[in-house]
Structures are given as structure tokens and as C-alpha cells.
Amino acid sequence: MLRKTLNLGILAHVDAGKTTLTERLLYAAGVIAEVGSVDKGTTRTDSLALEQQRGITIKSAVVSFPIDDVTVNLIDTPGHPDFIAEVERVLSVLDGAVLVISAVEGVQPQTRILMRALERLGVPTLLFVNKIDRAGADPERVLDEIEQRLTPAVVPMGSADELGSKAASFAPFGPADGDLAARAQAGELHPAFFGSALTGAGVEEVRGGITALLPAHASDGNGALSARVFKIERGPAGDRIAYTRVFSGTVTMRDRFDAGKVTALRVFADGDAVQRDAAQAGEIAKLWGLAEIQIGDWLGEPRREVEHHFAPPTFEAVVQPVDPADGQRLRVALGQLAEQDPLIDVRQDDTRAEISVSLYGEVQREVIEATLADEYGLEVAFREVTTICVERPKGSGEAVEILNTPTNPFHADLGLRVEPAAPGSGVRMRVDGGLDKRNVPLYVFKTFDSFVQHMDDYVRLALEEGLFGWQVTDCVVTLTKIGYSLADGPPSRRGPMPTTRDIRRLTPLVLLQALEQSGSVVCEPVFRIAAEVPTETIGPMLAALGRLGAGAATPSARGELSVLEATLPATHVQELRRQLPGLTGGEGVLDSEFAGYQPVTGESPIRQRLTPDPRNLEEYLAQVGR
């Protein structure tokens, strides 16, 4: 029998039951003899001590089990929004997904965010409406919510009975027809199952759905290698273990890459990661020996794709060791944590001798603090939690630097124009139609495309720190001029010729001048919030929202409970969370979701630059060299 592989993600809002469902699937496959429990800290995928103490998933984890002729590599992901980066890295390696939704809580904010990302990427997705055994379970209502708020392309696969009791059960309508299966495998339809991961109801049917309704592939080692690293773990000896999904070709023992040489290799197969000589397209491998590897790296041919599906971290905090002598150890430890989680952007401010890290929220901060204590024996304090802003150009600005003039010590001409683009569109670089391609120094860049690729990198680097020190985004940068002096020797009378270094250093110089022309506006992150509160507390709630600078709040009454929706600067969401119990007699529930950036009111906050400031030419030259 030809075996096939399916790389399956389990995704959901926090606490919906992903890890419990994973445990059930492992049990049903015979991989584990007993069903572990999240509440007792005995599941396979919540294996970290912190996960077991807190009863939540923090890191994505891979397990493997067979269903008939398919090897399922299941990736259990965290649902808490503070750990969304873990989900992001996994998305690009999935062949299919199961999105879990609680039959009691229904469609929650994170459910919508995840479904949108899965749809955008075209990942075929099954829905599992979980917890039908719990009091208040209402699969019909949840199905309506799914249709209204998640996707109209949902197809219920059966019905649930004896809701809210241990005996709750799922009765399938019948075998899925061929057309439905093909459309589900193509991601056009989303079959929905109901059940309970706790009692096992509906789990057999989901197992059937995973093989019949999601696209498993026979592995095939032919073709050029293309593989992606989506998770990095440190082994007991401090060695790096790279979790790698192979998309085409084969990774073999002793293969050499820029990041190192493969010294050990395991492939996920039917219950465990087993030692092998090679991993083929379709499979997930653990690779040892790649000392320089980073999350997101490609082995072999990279595939260009959309990189960011979710909101970036919106806070940063200065981290200080309680014992000042621990500064160096803290730097090393944070560097290692950032390796495993590249969005823990560690900023090192040498002038103030401070380290800060970017954060999604309070829970992630606690987890970093606990990890530093448990794994590194480091006691730290976080202070000065601030929001991470961005800058957007106000209008259009343009600057040109010409060779052999007092303001340009580098050996090239460069012209750049910066213009605002739609919010959320990021940075795009283009080349002006009138640019004379003959002036591109091809002797350094080889091809025109390679030159443009380099310019794109230089521009992005330069935009990391704008006029106020924040990352510049939502803009189009146009290359309007490039030039150099042709050596007419030897000996040359006009030289010297530019190197990549000249152009790399010239880019921030020109770009910041262009930005000074356009001006830039500092924008802070805002969240869309929905607060469900007792109707009689609407008055004080509206007053509090007003004080916190919320955009117009719209209350909608649903009997005794009302829902207030508003947008609120990120800085004030935590504050509202703190005030909520007092304002609502402990009855209020708050959901929040990143909703982009808006101009700050009042004075623009300034962030300390980490890279040399090209606006002061002398200092800039002293720091970067000529």
C-alpha cells in the first residue's frame, strides 16, 4: 500500500480544546495507551513544564500518527493571542487544518482571525464544534454563527444529540459524496463535525474526515530541494534542532547548507520522529547540525510568499536583571529565546546599556519571565512597557545625491522618492520607468534584477528607523536615479567605482532626506474591542471608554446583556481590562482584536535610534566609515 502524508494544523481560540482533541486522535490511532489530560498536565503536546503548570499551550508541537494509509503529522498550536506568532510560522507548512470551535462559546475573535488566514492561504479546513457535553452547548446556534461570521461555505456532516451531558453524541448524516470530498480538499467547502474531545464523541467521524476530506500526498523525493524551517528547539546539549517541512526534493544526511551540515535526521512517521537517512517532499523532518539556522529559513530553493498573516507585537518593555552582574547572561539568554521565537525582537540600546523585547501582551511577558527563571536561573524585572508605533509618510518626498558633491561622500548617484500607500500595505519598492538602466553598476550587481533585489533590501533596512525612530511603513519607494563614474583608465582620472557598500550606505542618507521632505506621522496601534456587559452598567462603561480615548462606542442591547463595540489605543486596552470587573460587578467580558494603526494625538513619541543617523553627516560617517 502506497503511504501518503498529511501535515495537519489544529487551530482555535484559546481553550477551545485543541490539545484535548490531539490527545484523543493519538489515542484512537493507538500511539498512546491512555488519554492524557490538559488539567492534569499529562498530554503529549503540552510537554513544557510551563504549559503543564498553566494548562495552556505556548509552543506549537508536532506529533505523528497513522490513519489507514495516511501518516498524519499533526501540529498542535497555541490559541492565546499572545502566541499568535507560533501559529504564523506553522501556517505555511500545512496541507490541511482542523479549526476547533467551542459549542458553548461559539465563534470567538481568534476563530475569525485564524479562519481568515487559512482562507487567504487556501488551506483546506474542517471545522470541529467541540464540548457538546458541556452545559450550554448549542451546536445549532454555533452553526448559525459560523455561517454568519466565519464562512457561508460550511456543510454540517451530522447532528448532535443529548447535548450538555456526558452522553452527548454525534450522528453522521451518511458518507460524504465524491463531489463534496473534492471540493473540501480544494478548500472550497468546510465540512463541520460536532463532538467532545473530552468524551470522544464525534472523534471517529473527524478521523474519517481527515483522510477523506483533506488532501494527503504520496511523498516523492524527485526534483530540486525546497524545504522550510518552521520551529527551532534546543536539545539537552544546547544543540539546535530544526523542524523542517520538505516541499520538493530530498534532504539527506550530511547535506551541506549555508547554516551548517546535517549530522542527524529524523522523520515524523506513525507515532514518533524516527531516524532516517533522508526526508522527502511532503514529510516533516527534525534536523541536527545546522548551527546557524533560523526560523523561516529555506533549504534549497526558496518560495516567495506572503510572510505575515497576523498583527505584529504592539508592546515593548525594557528587561533588567535583578542582579546587575547578570547583564551578559541575560543578553545570551534573550538571544536564544529570540532564536526560537523571532518576533521576540531583542533591541539592544548600547548608549543606554538597555535591552528591550517586543511583546504581544501580559501572558507572553509572564512566560518569558518564567522561562528566564526556570531555564537560565535569571531573575529579571520588566519596566517601561510602551507601545510600538510606526511612521507613515505624510505626502510625497524626493531626494537625490550626486557624486563628488560635498553632501555625498560615496561613489554613486542615488535618487529616491517616497510616497504614502494604503494603510496595512507595508513597504513596496519600484523602479521609475525613466531610470536609465545603463547607469546601473552591473559589474557589482551582475544583473538588473539582482540590483533591484539589493536595493529592495537596502530600502527596507533604511526604513526600519524613520524620522522619529519608528519603523516606516505603508509607503511606496521609487528608485529615480542611479549612476556612477566610469573609470576611463587605467589609470583612471574619474574613478573610483562604487561598491555595494557605497550604495548601501547612501540609501539611508537619501531616504531620510526624502522623508524629511514628505514629513512623517507617528501612528499608534489600536484595538477593536467588544465588551459584553450587564445592560444597567452601560452608562459607566461609556464614561470609562470616553476617558480612555475610545472612538465612538456603539452599544447594542441583547436583553439583560449589552455589547459595546469601540476602537481603543493599545495602551488603554490593558487599563480597561483592569477596570472592567469594577465597572460591571465582575460580569463583563472583553474581547479585543488588533485593528491597525492611527495617528497619535498630541506630541509624537520618539524612539531611540539603534542605527547611525544619516541626518548628521559627520557623525554618520564616523559610525559607518566612508
Ligand X SMILES: Nc1nc2c(ncn2[C@@H]2O[C@H](COP(=O)(O)OP(=O)(O)OP(=O)(O)O)[C@@H](O)[C@H]2O)c(=O)[nH]1
**Positions in the binding site for Mg ion (CB under 5 A):** 18-19, 57
* Partner whose footprint covers residue 134, from ligand X, Mg ion, none (CB < 5 to 8 Å by kind): ligand X
* Partner whose footprint covers residue 126, from ligand X, Mg ion, none (CB < 5 to 8 Å by kind): none
Helix/strand/coil percent split, the chain, to 5: 30, 30, 40
CB of 453 to Mg ion, least distance (A): 40
CB of 57 to ligand X, least distance (A): 3
* Partner whose footprint covers residue 584, from Mg ion, ligand X, none (CB < 5 to 8 Å by kind): none
Taking the C-alpha atoms of residue 357 and residue 318, their distance in angstroms, rounded to an integer, is 7
In the bound state with Mg ion, the residue whose beta carbon lies nearer, of 345 and 366, is 366
* Partner whose footprint covers residue 39, from Mg ion, ligand X, none (CB < 5 to 8 Å by kind): ligand X
Long-range Cβ pairs for the range 140-147 (8 Å, 24+) = 141/106, 142/101, 142/102, 142/103, 142/106, 142/107, 143/192, 145/106, 145/107, 146/101, 146/107, 146/192
| C-alpha grid cell, residue 419 | 510616497
C-alpha distances in Å from residue 257, one per residue of 275, 288, 289 = 20, 12, 10
Taking the C-alpha atoms of residue 463 and residue 476, their distance in angstroms, rounded to an integer, is 11
DSSP for residue 83 = G
CB of 37 to ligand X, least distance (A): 6
Non-local (6+) Cβ contacts of 180 within 8 A are 155, 189, 191, 213
Torsion of CA 103, 107, 108, 113, to 10 degrees: 140
Burial category of 97 from C-beta neighbours within 10 Å (exposed 0-12, middle 13-18, buried 19 and up): buried
CB of 122 to ligand X, least distance (A): 24
Q: Which residues bind ligand X (CB under 6 A)?
A: 12, 14-20, 38-39, 56-57, 78-80, 130-131, 133-134, 196-198
Residue the block writes with cell 465524491: 178
CB of 210 to ligand X, least distance (A): 17
In the bound state with ligand X, the residue whose beta carbon lies nearer, of 57 and 280, is 57
* Partner whose footprint covers residue 515, from ligand X, Mg ion, none (CB < 5 to 8 Å by kind): none
* Partner whose footprint covers residue 133, from ligand X, Mg ion, none (CB < 5 to 8 Å by kind): ligand X
In the bound state with ligand X, the residue whose beta carbon lies nearer, of 10 and 459, is 10
In the bound state with ligand X, the residue whose beta carbon lies nearer, of 26 and 56, is 56
CB of 375 to Mg ion, least distance (A): 21
- Helices 500-518 and 448-462 cross at an angle (nearest 10°) of 50
In the bound state with ligand X, the residue whose beta carbon lies nearer, of 12 and 273, is 12
In the bound state with ligand X, the residue whose beta carbon lies nearer, of 12 and 477, is 12
The answer to whether 75 and 90 are in contact (CB under 8 A) is yes
Taking the C-alpha atoms of residue 139 and residue 162, their distance in angstroms, rounded to an integer, is 11
In the bound state with ligand X, the residue whose beta carbon lies nearer, of 136 and 302, is 136
CB of 38 to ligand X, least distance (A): 4
Taking the C-alpha atoms of residue 622 and residue 496, their distance in angstroms, rounded to an integer, is 21
Taking the C-alpha atoms of residue 65 and residue 467, their distance in angstroms, rounded to an integer, is 53
Residues 320-344 as b/e (b if ≥16 CB within 10 A, e otherwise) read bbeeeebeeebeebbebbbbbbebb
Give the containing element (helix H, strand E) for 205: helix 203-213
Q: Which residue is nearest to ligand X (CB)?
A: 79
* Partner whose footprint covers residue 283, from Mg ion, ligand X, none (CB < 5 to 8 Å by kind): none
Q: Is the four-CA dihedral 300, 303, 307, 309 of positive or negative sign?
A: negative
CB of 15 to ligand X, least distance (A): 4
CB of 25 to ligand X, least distance (A): 12
CB of 46 to ligand X, least distance (A): 7
* Partner whose footprint covers residue 330, from ligand X, Mg ion, none (CB < 5 to 8 Å by kind): none
* Partner whose footprint covers residue 374, from Mg ion, ligand X, none (CB < 5 to 8 Å by kind): none
Dihedral pair phi/psi, residue 347, rounded to 5°: -105, 130
In the bound state with ligand X, the residue whose beta carbon lies nearer, of 130 and 473, is 130
Dihedral pair phi/psi, residue 383, rounded to 5°: -140, 170
In the bound state with ligand X, the residue whose beta carbon lies nearer, of 54 and 460, is 54
Non-local (6+) Cβ contacts of 25 within 8 A are 65, 72, 74, 203, 206, 207
* Partner whose footprint covers residue 16, from ligand X, Mg ion, none (CB < 5 to 8 Å by kind): ligand X
In the bound state with Mg ion, the residue whose beta carbon lies nearer, of 41 and 549, is 41
Residues 478-491 as b/e (b if ≥16 CB within 10 A, e otherwise) read bbbbbbbbeeeeee
The answer to whether 516 and 397 are in contact (CB under 8 A) is yes
In the bound state with Mg ion, the residue whose beta carbon lies nearer, of 94 and 482, is 94
CB of 412 to Mg ion, least distance (A): 53
CB of 270 to ligand X, least distance (A): 23
Burial category of 137 from C-beta neighbours within 10 Å (exposed 0-12, middle 13-18, buried 19 and up): buried
* Partner whose footprint covers residue 80, from ligand X, Mg ion, none (CB < 5 to 8 Å by kind): ligand X
**Bridge partners of residue 410, in order along the sequence:** none
* Partner whose footprint covers residue 12, from Mg ion, ligand X, none (CB < 5 to 8 Å by kind): ligand X
C-alpha distances in Å from residue 176, one per residue of 152, 160, 173, 181, 212 = 19, 17, 8, 7, 8
CB of 100 to ligand X, least distance (A): 6
In the bound state with ligand X, the residue whose beta carbon lies nearer, of 78 and 508, is 78
* Partner whose footprint covers residue 205, from Mg ion, ligand X, none (CB < 5 to 8 Å by kind): none
In the bound state with ligand X, the residue whose beta carbon lies nearer, of 31 and 624, is 31
The answer to whether 395 and 519 are in contact (CB under 8 A) is yes
